[in-house]
A and B are shown apart, each in its own frame.
Chain A
Amino acid sequence: MGTEKSSRTWTSRSLGSEFQHRIFYALISVAGRRGAYFALYFVVAWYVLLRPSVREKASFYLQRRFPSHRGWRRLWDTYCMSLELGKVLVDRAVLGILGPEKIHSVLTSEAQLRALLAEGKGLVLVMAHAGSWQLSMANLANLRASVSLLIHREPGDVDRHFFEHGRQTFAFRIIDPTGYMGGMLEMYQVLKAGEVLCIMGDRVMGGPGSHVGVNFLGGEIRVPISPYKLASSSGAPIAVIFPHKTGPDRFQVKLATVIRVPEHLGRRVEAFRPFAQAFSHALEEFVAEHPYQFFNFFDMWVESSDAAKNIHSSSHSGA
């Protein structure tokens, strides 16, 4: 985070070229979401069948989620997972290009989230690269509070976030995790002001002291402790939310669990493990229900990865 050597094993850079992305953006403008989806079925098939790297990147998660699937079944799983990611990327472009009225998104437990915010200590929303977090961001306007989002923009990434299409105005602030102090001080000020802070809880950005190992799908993964550390420092509650696709143009943003971190737990990384594990458990329940809506296309598992040498690309961080 900022001043430390990063131990991240992923990149958010898109697989496609800028030209390919522009074709899809044009397709959405001309033929809408359905036209883009139609093209997507063939594009995804091409990538899955002809690019071994795509199958390899998907396999890390799929072999954990579907350990008994081999051969054609694994290939089908890869296609379904990649297709869901493609649809989410199209949906978020639709949101940015055609406007929020083209996507129906429901924020469940809105009253509960408002109650958490009303405690006056800010609210940490921990999400994952599952479903479409960007659609949930659009929903958060309902909370009527300022929203800040910790997000890293990969240099050279050509895929646009929905708010970068320029057609819509979405009032949330971006905090860069590669900025000064990893954005920690900015994030703390957000919570001190009683506002909403969104952090992705499933990918590591900072140095060795910034993450902790937790169990996920039968193995150990590393997750950032910053959400839990900030909650402990500020007294803010944590709401774990996962948006998922429920229909072609429909999403539901579900409150998975609320995590309360005791105040002033100190500097010991281990103290935050139980709370990080609670997040991981909620994520396990999500992928059990929506197996193809999880988009970490890299080896998350500690024992099977060599973080320093083997950097795998995810198809996109923003899914």
Chain B
Amino acid sequence: MDTKTKLKHALADELNLPELKEATFDDDAPLFGQGLGLDSLDAVELVIVIQKHFGVEIKDMDESRSAFASINALAAYIDQRLAA
């Protein structure tokens, strides 16, 4: 399973977001606000899920800003951190 698929499954299960498993979901849609509908309180849950499933810890606020843009951006960020 590639990072993006694993990420979508992890977020769908842990954050109760079944729409992430639908084929029609736009992986470039924003995670926060209008897109997936997450809010700032969910940001912490997102950080925890990523650490739990990928062992990647997001500490840098600037990094998270770009990584949290969309599913595609987040998956790319995780891949980049895992490769480093």
Q: Which residues of A contact B (CB under 8 A)?
A: 1-4, 180-182, 184-186, 188-189, 206-207, 209-210, 225-226, 229-230, 233, 264, 266-267
Q: List 10 A-B contacts (CB under 8 A).
A: A2-B40, A3-B32, A4-B40, A180-B65, A181-B32, A181-B64, A184-B43, A185-B64, A206-B40, A267-B16
A141-B41 Cα distance, complex, nearest whole Å: 29
Report B-chain residues with C-beta under 8 Å of the C-beta of A185: 43-44, 47, 58, 61, 64
Q: Which residue of A lies closest to B17 (CB)?
A: A267
A210-B43 Cα distance, complex, nearest whole Å: 12
- Cβ-based interface call for B42 (8 A): yes
- Cβ-based interface call for B48 (8 A): yes
- Tell me whether chain B's interface is mostly helix, strand or loop, or mixed: helix
| Contact among B33, B47, B61 for A180, CB-based, below 8 A | B61
Contact A186 B39 (CB under 8 A): no
Q: Which residue of B lies closest to A188 (CB)?
A: B44
Contact A226 B33 (CB under 8 A): no
Report B-chain residues with C-beta under 8 Å of the C-beta of A2: 40
Contact B39 A207 (CB under 8 A): yes
Contact A209 B61 (CB under 8 A): no
A226-B41 Cα distance, complex, nearest whole Å: 7
| Residue of B40, B43, B47, B65 contacting most chain A CB atoms (<10 Å) | B40
Contact B40 A1 (CB under 8 A): yes
Contact digits for B16-53, partner A, Cβ 8 Å, 1 yes 0 no: 10000000000000001100000111111101100000
Contact A3 B40 (CB under 8 A): yes
Contact A3 B44 (CB under 8 A): no
Report B-chain residues with C-beta under 8 Å of the C-beta of A186: 61
Contact A188 B47 (CB under 8 A): yes
Q: Which residue of A lies closest to B62 (CB)?
A: A180
How many CB-defined contacts (below 8 Å) exist between A and B? 58
Q: With both chains docked as a complex, state the minimum distance between the C-beta of B12 and any C-beta of chain A, in angstroms.
A: 13
In order of increasing CB-CB distance, the 3 nearest A-B pairs are: A182-B40, A1-B40, A181-B40
- Cβ-based interface call for B15 (8 A): yes
A264-B47 Cα distance, complex, nearest whole Å: 13
A186-B40 Cα distance, complex, nearest whole Å: 11
- Once A188-B47, A267-B16 are accepted as A-B contacts, the answer to whether A1 and B41 lie under 8 Å apart by CB is yes
A226-B42 Cα distance, complex, nearest whole Å: 10
| Residue of B39, B48, B61 contacting most chain A CB atoms (<10 Å) | B39
Given pairs A181-B43, A185-B44, A230-B44, 5 additional interface contacts (CB within 8 A): A2-B40, A181-B64, A189-B59, A233-B44, A264-B48
Q: With both chains docked as a complex, state the minimum distance between the C-beta of B61 and any C-beta of chain A, in angstroms.
A: 6
Report B-chain residues with C-beta under 8 Å of the C-beta of A233: 44-45, 48
A186-B44 Cα distance, complex, nearest whole Å: 9
A229-B58 Cα distance, complex, nearest whole Å: 18
Contact digits for B56-84, partner A, Cβ 8 Å, 1 yes 0 no: 00110100110000000000000000000
Q: Which residue of A lies closest to B48 (CB)?
A: A233
- Once A180-B61, A189-B59 are accepted as A-B contacts, the answer to whether A1 and B44 lie under 8 Å apart by CB is no
- Once A188-B47, A266-B16 are accepted as A-B contacts, the answer to whether A210 and B41 lie under 8 Å apart by CB is yes
| Contact among A180, A188, A206, A266 for B39, CB-based, below 8 A | A206
Report A-chain residues with C-beta under 8 Å of the C-beta of B47: 185, 188
Q: With both chains docked as a complex, state the minimum distance between the C-beta of A90 and any C-beta of chain B, in angstroms.
A: 36
A225-B41 Cα distance, complex, nearest whole Å: 9
Q: Which residue of A lies closest to B32 (CB)?
A: A3
A209-B33 Cα distance, complex, nearest whole Å: 12
Q: With both chains docked as a complex, state the minimum distance between the C-beta of B60 and any C-beta of chain A, in angstroms.
A: 10
| Contact among A3, A206, A267 for B33, CB-based, below 8 A | A3
Contact A210 B40 (CB under 8 A): yes
Q: With both chains docked as a complex, state the minimum distance between the C-beta of B82 and any C-beta of chain A, in angstroms.
A: 21
